[in-house]
Amino acid sequence: MHGFDVYDTTMRDGAQQQGINLSVADKLTIARHLDDLGVTHIEGGWPGANPNDTEFFARAAQELQLRTATLAAFGATRRAGGSAATDPQVTALLDAGTPVVTLVAKSHVGHVERALKTTREENLAMIADTVAHLVAHGRTVVVDTEHFFDGYLLDRDYALACVSAAVEAGADCVALCDTNGGMLPGQVHDAVADVIASTGARVGIHCHNDTGCAVASSMAAVEAGATHVQGTINGYGERTGNADLVTVVANLQLKKGMDLVEPYRLQDATRIAHAISEVTNFPPFSRQPYVGAGAFAHKAGLHASAIKVDPDLYQHIDPKDVGNDMRMLVSDMAGRASIELKSREFGVDLAGDDEALARVLARVKELEQRGYTFDAADASFELLLRRLLGEEDLELARIESWRIMTDARGGEDALSEATVKVHAGGQRIVATGEGNGPVNALDEALRQAFGVVYPEIAELELIDYRVRILDAAHGTDAITRVLIETSDGASSWTTVGVAGNIVEASWEALLDGITYGLRRAGVDPR
Ligand SMILES: CC(=O)SCCNC(=O)CCNC(=O)[C@H](O)C(C)(C)COP(=O)(O)OP(=O)(O)OC[C@H]1O[C@@H](n2cnc3c(N)ncnc32)[C@H](O)[C@@H]1OP(=O)(O)O
Ligand SMILES: CC(=O)C(=O)O
């Protein structure tokens, strides 16, 4: 009796996404994360296709101690007119030494005749020979039937014959692939049900997201009887990507009551999805279901007022089930409940303090009207809140003045120099900084000045700087909004500045970013 396969192809199909390029070390790291998530299969790549993938399997055999997952090597059926035993890429699949081998096979007559340029019969023989050869060498074989659904609609009998050829040769599972991603969930459901009824195959599903339906189609396939689902972390993959495996697993487990991964592993899904995005170097997508930073973020005041009574009134699961958190966003759509709940996130209890809630809310609305955006700048909101509540010892220095000069000489790059004068640690500090632009120079001077009294500033780094002109109709008189992201290496926070002058807006965001970071590091005014 088979269980259910949660089959990850992040390192194979996911890596087919434009801009993803994984080293062997990256793949070993991703494999460990996937094992922590509790997937049953990790497809590591195509041995023999490139040196990286070949080396990955060699190193994985030595270095990976997987606890929940089984490693799979991916490749194609033997070449037309050849034999599996002598086909170099089939041999490379065996040499990879994995317990599972996944073969991509044609099941669409158009592909057989026009892409493979062979006969229907030879394609069936390619499938049967290759599967039988691998099974004879002790491998568990999954067959990915490429373009299955398009092929099924064109010539159902041939598509089913390909599935049967795989099953009769000993394949453990035939994963039906929506390679072009053009199917809708109902089509997938009906075809999967027919394949199971007609061939008796154990069926899997592999969907691409070109219609935005990859997850829905995967769910439909499972409802129709598929017991093996393929997908990638963060939905990486060719074109618009593959089915997002975490979403599929969370849907099946939390909504359909299926027991796929141990609950404590699913509770690590957000961390794992984000850790893998560090490896791929693609920033996490905040609106991603379940694991996105915004998946349980609430902006509207009416939502907040109901959430204050019971969070379940406005969320579909407990975010902890997938390792995420509920967050309040404060903006011009906030009400008093939003302010109260957001303040609570910062350890400030304003429950029952109607005067303070009304004062903070009024100030937020006024500032948002002037161009501030606190839902994108939590750190600035926290500083604003503490300032409005009169928190003592918040400011780490008294700013006397700052000044910028930019020197542009013909033919040379312009150079900016900033001077900052502050009072801290009982002294007046005058510091200068140079940079290839005014903000860069200002950042440098501010760091020099604060660094005299607060050496902890060395840990802080400006990692993102975004500018938006808010009223373009005014041309150079427009209001400028600057968002700055600062990091201490472990986490990051965003601050906002708004002014008629881009440098002044930057100064405000920079100073708040540094003040917030130093306070977060536990620094008190010296
Ligand atoms: C649907 C999918 O995403 S499947 C995964 C696709 N992934 C990749 O292609 C990434 C890795 N691929 C590669 O590195 C290369 O394409 C290789 C090493 C596999 C092959 O490279 P080459 O030998 O130069 O062949 P090329 O890429 O030009 O063409 C693929 C060949 O495989 C054949 N082929 C395609 N599908 C299959 C199949 N299911 N079974 C057997 N042969 C196949 C094609 O007909 C073509 O044959 P030809 O060389 O006789 O024309
Ligand atoms: C096999 C595969 O990746 C596909 O058909 O999309």
**Could you say which architecture CATH assigns to the domain 5-280?**
Alpha-Beta Barrel (3.20)
pLDDT at 160: 98
Cβ proximity of 119 and 81 under 8 Å:
no
Mode of pairing for the β-strands spanning 492-499 and 480-487: antiparallel
Which two three-digit tokens encode residue 159? 């598509």
Closest CA to 242 of 28, 23, 6, 16: 16
Closest CA to 73 of 102, 51, 34, 50: 102
What ligand has the least distance to the C-alpha of 46? Answer: 1
244: DSSP letter: B
pLDDT at 194: 98
Q: What is the CATH number of domain 398-520?
A: 3.30.160.270
How far does residue 227's CA lie from ligand 2's centre (Å)? 17
Mode of pairing for the β-strands spanning 415-424 and 427-435: antiparallel
How far does residue 264's CA lie from ligand 1's centre (Å)? 40
Residue segments in the chain with a per-residue pLDDT below the cut of 50: 1
Which residues, 6+ apart, have CB-to-CB distance to 81 below 8 Å? Answer: 118, 122
CB-CB neighbours of 184 under 10 Å: 14
Closest CA to 239 of 52, 50, 13: 13
407: DSSP letter: E
Q: Is the ipTM of this complex over 0.90?
A: yes
Ligand 2, atom 3, residue with closest C-alpha: 13
pLDDT at 388: 96
Number of the ligand 2 atom closest to the C-alpha atom of 238: 6
Per residue in 270-316, pLDDT (tens digit) is 999 999 999 999 989 999 999 999 999 999 999 999 999 999 999 99
Closest CA to 254 of 267, 242, 243, 270: 267
Ligand 1, atom 4, residue with closest C-alpha: 104
Which two three-digit tokens encode residue 507? 């100064």
Question: Domain boundaries in the chain?
Answer: 5-280, 297-369, 398-520
How far does residue 111's CA lie from ligand 1's centre (Å)? 12
How far does residue 492's CA lie from ligand 1's centre (Å)? 43
pLDDT at 1: 41
Which residues, 6+ apart, have CB-to-CB distance to 490 below 8 Å? Answer: none
Ligand 1, atom 42, residue with closest C-alpha: 79
HEC letters along 208-235: ECCCCCHHHHHHHHHHCCCCEEEEEHHH
pLDDT at 491: 92
Number of the ligand 2 atom closest to the C-alpha atom of 242: 6
Give the integer Cα–Cα distance in Å for 243 and 288: 12
pLDDT at 526: 85
Closest CA to 20 of 282, 274, 391, 308: 282
pLDDT at 230: 98
Ligand 1, atom 24, residue with closest C-alpha: 49
Which residues, 6+ apart, have CB-to-CB distance to 323 below 8 Å? Answer: 266, 267, 268, 269, 270, 271, 291
Please tell me the number of Cα atoms within 13 Å of 361 on its side-chain side: 17
How far does residue 76's CA lie from ligand 1's centre (Å)? 7
Cβ proximity of 142 and 175 under 8 Å:
yes
pLDDT at 474: 57
Cβ proximity of 50 and 79 under 8 Å:
no
Number of the ligand 1 atom closest to the C-alpha atom of 115: 45
99: DSSP letter: S
Ligand 2, atom 6, residue with closest C-alpha: 179
Q: DSSP of 154-211, one letter per residue?
A: H-HHHHHHHHHHHHHTT-SEEEEEETT----HHHHHHHHHHHHHHH---EEEEEB-TT
What ligand has the least distance to the C-alpha of 209? Answer: 2
Q: Which residues of 301-331 are buried (b: 16+ CB within 10 A; e: fewer)?
A: bebbbbbbeeeeebbeeebeebbbebbbbbb
Cβ of 146 less than 6 Å from ligand 2: yes
Cβ of 43 less than 6 Å from ligand 2: no
How far does residue 505's CA lie from ligand 1's centre (Å)? 54
